[in-house]
Chains A and B, each alone.
Chain A
Amino acid sequence: MRGLNARRVGLLATLLTMGAAGWYVAVYLARWEWNRAVVAGIIFLAAELGLVGVLVLERLGKLEERIDERTAPPARPAEPDPRLVAHIHDAAPPSLEPFAWLRTGEATNGNRLSVFVPVLLGAGVILSGVAWVVERIARFTGGPVLERRLAGRLDALALPPGGLLGQAASARSDPFSPSPGPGPGPGPGSGAGAARP
């Protein structure tokens, strides 16, 4: 309350100073007293600067408070009442225990692992049978389909009908057969070698 009053008094004094200084600027100008008008103008500007500074700093302080409120870690909760904690603990439902039937106890009169192992083996046999059936079905149904699909893909590599040279080339003689020359070639027994004794 005291700070608020001091703030108000300060602002009021600043405003009064501004008003008086501004009024005297006009009065001195009307009296042609330039030096006094300049001094009054400087006082007016100083009061105005102070007022603006106070207001800006006040607004910046509020912004800082907002930022601190947003960035501050959440307040740590107070220590809970032990009686309340005990009450909640007592009212909690029993926890689930997986494979509870494997536990040994008086009611089971010993180890129950003898029950678990046949169940595990039986499940394995059944799953193996199912897998064998699925594999057989896939063999009979998937094979022809995959073969036809592969043949369709290989069509892109097949030669065009009639080969690369077309029908005319296929009608000619075999290109790999010896071509008929202009005369008898140097066959065995002919030439200078043959004339030698």
Chain B
Amino acid sequence: MKRALLAVVLLVVGAAAVDEMGDAFQSRADHMSPDSRSEVVLQISADDYKGDPAQAADAIVAACRGTVRNRVLDDPGVVEVEPGTYSFSVQPGLGKNNRVKLVGCLQDLTIDRVQADVVSVDTSG
């Protein structure tokens, strides 16, 4: 009886874990308004990068813009809001799944010697 109960518990826990992992690892289309836009603020650390921090920010945004279908707005582009802190905007706005994908790419070790920390993602519209 105990073994059967343990087997049932393990089965339920395993199924719940697989379901959670499936939800966590999957990506689905986000339904956002075409006029919406999101502003991403990120902090760049590129002390050992062969170039200035602005070039590092441009490089990492260019490397990650392909991970989502949202268009990076060329106006104003990647602008420095503070020393070492940059922002850019995408349109339409980032939904839940696209936000995870873009932030993950930016904070990942995408470009050698460039570390980006996403400070905020503000979606409007």
Chain A residues engaging chain B, CB cutoff 8 angstroms? 26, 29-36, 39
Q: Can you sample 14 A-B contacts with CB below 8 Å?
A: A29-B24, A30-B24, A30-B25, A30-B100, A31-B100, A31-B104, A32-B67, A32-B105, A32-B108, A33-B104, A34-B104, A34-B108, A35-B109, A36-B108
B105 — which chain A residues lie within 8 A by C-beta? Answer: 32-33
Asked if A35 contacts B108 (CB within 8 A), the reply is yes
B108 — which chain A residues lie within 8 A by C-beta? Answer: 32-36
User: How far in angstroms is the closest Cβ of chain B from A28?
Assistant: 8
B107 — which chain A residues lie within 8 A by C-beta? Answer: 31, 33
Least CB separation from B109: chain A residue? A35
> Bound complex: CA of A76 vs CA of B103, how far in Å?
75
Chain B residues engaging chain A, CB cutoff 8 angstroms? 21, 24-25, 27, 67, 100-101, 103-105, 107-110
A31 — which chain B residues lie within 8 A by C-beta? Answer: 100, 103-104, 107
B109 — which chain A residues lie within 8 A by C-beta? Answer: 33, 35-36, 39
Asked if B104 contacts A32 (CB within 8 A), the reply is yes
Q: Is the interface of B mostly helix, strand, loop or mixed?
A: helix
Asked if B101 contacts A32 (CB within 8 A), the reply is yes
A36 — which chain B residues lie within 8 A by C-beta? Answer: 108-109
| Further 16 A-B residue pairs, CB within 8 A, beyond A26-B21, A31-B104, A32-B67 | A29-B24, A29-B25, A30-B24, A31-B107, A32-B100, A32-B108, A33-B105, A33-B107, A33-B108, A34-B108, A35-B108, A35-B109, A35-B110, A36-B108, A36-B109, A39-B109
> Bound complex: CA of A46 vs CA of B55, how far in Å?
36
Least CB separation from B110: chain A residue? A35
User: How far in angstroms is the closest Cβ of chain A from B47?
Assistant: 19
Q: Which of B67, B100, B101, B108 has the most CB of A within 10 A?
A: B108
A39 — which chain B residues lie within 8 A by C-beta? Answer: 109
> Bound complex: CA of A35 vs CA of B104, how far in Å?
10
Q: Which of A26, A33, A35 has the most CB of B within 10 A?
A: A33
> Bound complex: CA of A36 vs CA of B109, how far in Å?
7
Least CB separation from A32: chain B residue? B104
> Bound complex: CA of A36 vs CA of B110, how far in Å?
9
Q: Closest 5 interchain pairs by CB?
A: A32-B104, A30-B24, A33-B108, A35-B109, A31-B104
Least CB separation from B107: chain A residue? A33
> Bound complex: CA of A33 vs CA of B25, how far in Å?
11
B101 — which chain A residues lie within 8 A by C-beta? Answer: 32
B103 — which chain A residues lie within 8 A by C-beta? Answer: 31-32
A35 — which chain B residues lie within 8 A by C-beta? Answer: 108-110
> Bound complex: CA of A29 vs CA of B24, how far in Å?
8
> Bound complex: CA of A33 vs CA of B110, how far in Å?
9
